[in-house]
Amino acid sequence: MGPIGLTEDPAADPVLLTYPHHDNFPEDDIARMQTYDTLLVAPAPMKKLLVDADHFLHPGDMLQLDGFDILAAPVYNVDKKFHAPERGWLGYVFINGQTTYYHAAP
């Protein structure tokens, strides 16, 4: 779930977008989290929606940041046409040293 309904203005770095549905892409809240140093990462199909993203990824792409790596993983539903594999939506695998985390878009 995206950062919907923020009650304060937290600074975030990086911001990783999964897909452009209203519950995962609350543009006003994302703008409130961004600072000059915020790194914005998004699925490549969102390029038309975003002019200020730093990285557009496809499933399987790897992004190496200072201190950790991010692997873009495909996210889709097998029984919902608006979450089809060909959409290119993403979840993320974070690798920090010996620890690996996975965030699947809901």
The model carries a pTM of 0.76
Model confidence pLDDT, tens digit, residues 77-106: 788 776 777 778 899 998 888 999 998 875
Q: What is the per-residue pLDDT across 3-47, written as a single tens digit (0 to 9) for each? A: 555 566 565 577 788 866 555 555 666 666 677 787 888 899 888
**Which residue type, as a one-letter code, is found at position 11?**
A
| Chain position carrying tokens 């309904």 | 5
Q: Does domain 15-103 match CATH 3.90.850.10?
A: no
**DSSP conformation class of 43:** E
Tens of pLDDT, residues 44-86: 988 888 877 889 999 999 999 888 899 999 988 788 776 777 7
98 CB-side CA count, 13 A: 0
